[in-house]
Structure 1
Amino acid sequence: MFQDMSKDFDIKKIRRSNTISESNCEPHVHPFHEIFYLSSGECTSFIDHNIYKFGKGDLVIVPGGCLHKTVYTGKGIHERIVISFRQEITDWIKEQIGAEYLKNCMVPGVINIPEKRRNYVDSLLDKLMFENDTPDILSTAFIKAGLVELLLFIIRCKEYEDNVIKEIDVDNRKIQEVATYIFEHYTENILLEDVADKFDMNKSFLSKRFKTATGFGFKEYIINLRIQNACRLLLETNKSITDIAFECGFNDSNYFGDSFRKIKGISPRKYRKNETF
């Protein structure tokens, strides 16, 4: 599923229970960046090709264009604060400290905020929500300043703090290896039985475990990666739609078109004509 937003910045608080209907989100991708802070509960997120397990006090970075899905685990209520923003709002950081720092800041992953610094992060997020929910003539400036402060804090965590970058979910290490392999070879003819043999796993077990760990069916994940790459080629090159289909791993241009419409809700041709989709 492709998602977009109508403004340059948004922040909201989301509360969910762990019921089946509320505990999972659909796999999706969006052009804007997303940062979310888990204030209660436990989650597993599949971002690009990495599986992360995290809990209270963890901050998740999802750059624009990353395919991802979150599954809420554990008991009780899960509460997170979600910040969405476009790249343009971070131009000031590039001018002050350089584009490389900002690029490293927005690498997908999970940061465990040191406990002694959580009150600071909570206060900063509260200010952002206040300015977003009760805007006046100065709110846009306050929001930009607050977001810059949060991003600078993340950069400092990555540069100077020990053990703040959460490790990939060790309970799903084998599936992690499978997901990475698919991510690196999705343009090829990848079959479930071949991958199962490669990683010395039963085909049925791999299929079920992959779905549980990532939220994607085996074939569904491959198709989503191919469509994600096709979107990039449609916007960045003049290659024909048929050539793009084959380059991304589809052996039938009609199947490519059907798959693209199912995921993006629009044909490849219309997507190319309108970059806002």
Structure 2
Amino acid sequence: MDRKRHQTVEFKILKESRMGQAREDSERFHRYHEIYYIAEGKCSVFIGQRTYRLQTGDFALIPAGTLHKTDFTSHGQNTKYVISFSVNTAKQIDTFLEAEITGAGIRAGKIKAPVQRQEAILLLVNRMLYEFENQPPLGKSLCLTLLAELLISLQRYRAGEEENDGNEDPAHGRMREVASYLCEHAREQITLPEVAAHFAVSPSYLSRIFHQETGFGVREYLVHYRIRQACDLLLNSDLSVTQIADQCGFSDSNYFGDAFKKATGLSPRDYRKLS
């Protein structure tokens, strides 16, 4: 890993196809927004503190800086489009439309395209992919126009939906509570046995179910959350690296430096220079 990993992504779109079940092991969080569109197959996406089950015709919205991981659960063909764009690109779209589309539209969650609109959505996404890959004259401008159209559509679909938490799997809901608890107590020196005791389960059970539902180990999730908070402080505060480590729950600044570099590819001081 190197600085290329942290280069600004203004806009890109990829089409990914794979056969059978798989767990993605890519970057856990990054500095740009992402939209997933499932054209074929099924997958589970853990975003922030919640797991979403996606199938053909579903979108997942992942705001910049949000911890996430994907599991493909279909044994057959899985096809996913990944649209990535920077916070700056989102602001440009808002300015162009003279409306705050991205602020409301880029909110973590799942959105289902109406069945009667899925063919049109797939055509739009494929046209965006063609313009991005072939780069004809004004292709970049057209990509951003198509992205704006997609964001407007997603905002409309979301406005027409009602959150139905009543159908949430009990295990998903419980692990969402665990993730929320970890975030709330991230600055403390909490341990797996303490978290398990709080939820009245054994450490081994909590560890197994949390990993099964989120794709992360309990400690792994906690460390990544702390590092995500540290990234914000490195870019947006004048605190020293040692102060940031302490404020984010790392009792050992040397361990913080090692964990930060493992997660981001850069030392805390080098990451701060990105600003």
Fold match by TM threshold 0.5: yes
What TM-score comes out, normalization by structure 2 length? 0.91
Could you give the per-residue CA deviations for residues 220-246 of structure 1, whole angstroms, max 9, x where no partner exists?
Answer: 111101111011101101111111111
SS in 2 for 1:69: strand
The alpha-carbon distance between structure 1 residues 54 and 195, as it changes in their structure 2 partners (threshold 3 A), is: same
Give the deviation of 1:90 after TM superposition.
2.6
Structure 2 counterpart SS, 1:16: strand
Deviation at 1:27, TM superposition (A): 5.2
C-alpha separation between the residues in 1 aligned to 2:107 and 2:273? 29
Tell me which amino acid in the other structure corresponds to 1:28: R
Q: Match of 2:205, SS?
A: helix
Report 1:107-126 matches (<5 A). Answer: 107-126=107-126
- Cα distance in structure 1, aligned partners of 2:203 and 2:150: 44
Q: Which amino acid letter does the alignment assign opposite residue 12 of structure 2?
A: D
Aligned equivalents of 1:6 and 1:243: distance in 2?
27
Distance of 1:38 and 1:211 partners within structure 2:
23
Distance change (3 Å), C-alpha of 1:194 and 1:27: farther
SS at match of 1:25: coil
For the pair 1:253 / 2:265, whether they are aligned, the reply is: no
Aligned to 1:210: 210
Equivalent pairs: percent with the same residue? Answer: 35
Shift of 1:169: 4.7
Question: Could you say which residue in structure 1 is the equivalent of 2:105?
Answer: 105
Which residue in the other structure is 2:83 paired with? Answer: 83
Q: Do the aligned partners of 1:43 and 1:53 also contact (CA within 8 Å) in 2?
A: yes
User: Structure 1 residues 107 and 131 mapped into 2: Cα distance closer, same or farther (>3 Å)?
Assistant: same
Instruction: Indicate the RMSD between aligned Cα atoms, in angstroms.
Output: 2.0
Distance 1:49 1:184 in 2: 11
Q: C-alpha displacement at 1:5, in angstroms?
A: 5.3
- The question of whether the paired residues in 2 share the 8 Å contact of 1:60 and 1:109 is answered with yes
1:123-138 to structure 2, matched below 5 A, reads 123-138=123-138
The aligned counterpart of 2:51 is 51
**Which residue of structure 2 aligns with residue 274 of structure 1?**
274
State how far apart, in whole Å, the 2-side matches of 1:153 and 1:65 are.
23
Q: Identify if the C-alpha distance between structure 1 residues 122 and 5 changes in structure 2 by more than 3 Å, giving closer, same or farther.
A: farther
Note closer, same or farther for the CA distance 1:202–1:219 as it changes in structure 2 (3 Å cut).
Answer: same
- Count of matched residue positions in the alignment of Structure 1 and Structure 2: 270
Cα distance between partner residues in 2 of 1:5 and 1:245: 24
Per-residue CA deviation, residues 47-86 of structure 1 (Å, 9 max, x unaligned), is: 1111111111100101111111001112111111111111
Residue number in structure 2 paired with 1:9: 11
Indicate the residue corresponding to 1:172 in structure 2. 172
